[in-house]
Structure 1
Amino acid sequence: MSGGTTARLLPWAGAEGKPCYLVTDGTGPLSEVADTIESVQLGMAADLLGHAADLMADHRATSAQLRFLLARMREALTDVHRIAASRGARLAERN
């Protein structure tokens, strides 16, 4: 990209789970929304890790509870992976 703009992988998926990109210089309202959503997603993943620790320590946890936890952890890991890929790409472009 020219003029200091890059294609940023956004922290959400589009139709059919396809990646969404924003051509940006890193500023602007949509970049701010993406930054906010990344922060929320990372916070939710951290909260989920705490919940997982509690549930794994509870020997009364049911298989349904564990399956639900696993589904949410898969979603959180997908979000965190997308954030890492996006940030990694932006770091590589700076070098």
Structure 2
Amino acid sequence: MTPHNELRLLPWSGPDGKPCFLSTDDTGGPLSRLADTTETAQLNVGQEILGHAMDVLADEEVETEELRLLARDLATALRDTLRVAVSRGHRLPALDPSTPIEANEGLRLSAAAFG
């Protein structure tokens, strides 16, 4: 295994709202597994909220307060999804900039890379 020298952005914030990071070479460790599970749950919640949003937006008589709550939930889900995307993006293998684009197109990721 190649040594891992990058910090993993975790899918939660610290008590002060600042990002939390994990430094480990063990992608199967307990904290890494908890982060993976949390990311999956956050993405699932985002999907559920998106489905709910589509229903709410189709209702022409929706109340302003419900739209406000929906906007808050969507913003939270988007924040979580972006954090997952950044975290996973940092863990993707880097492409060699000196390699022609055609050679890099053969890069294959396992399904696990996408949750």
- TM-score normalized by structure 2? 0.75
Which residue of 2 is the match for residue 33 of structure 1? 34
Runs of 4 or more above 2 Å deviation? 2-6
The sequence identity of aligned pairs, in percent, is 47
CA deviation vs aligned residue, 1:10-61 (integer Å, no higher than 9, x gap):
0001122100001122120110000000000000000101000000001121
Which residue of 2 is the match for residue 54 of structure 1? 55
Aligned length: 92
CA shift at 1:3, angstroms?
Answer: 3.2
Q: Which ranges of structure 2 fall in alignment gaps of 5 or more residues?
A: 95-115
- RMSD between superposed Cα atoms in Å: 1.4
Higher helix share: 1
Aligned residue identity for 2:19: P
Q: Does residue 1:70 correspond to 2:95, yes or no?
A: no
Tell me which structure has the larger Cα radius of gyration: 2
Higher strand share: 1
Which residue of 2 is the match for residue 15 of structure 1? 15
The one of the two structures with greater contact order (alpha-carbon pairs below 8 A, sep at least 6) is 1
- TM-score normalized by structure 1? 0.90
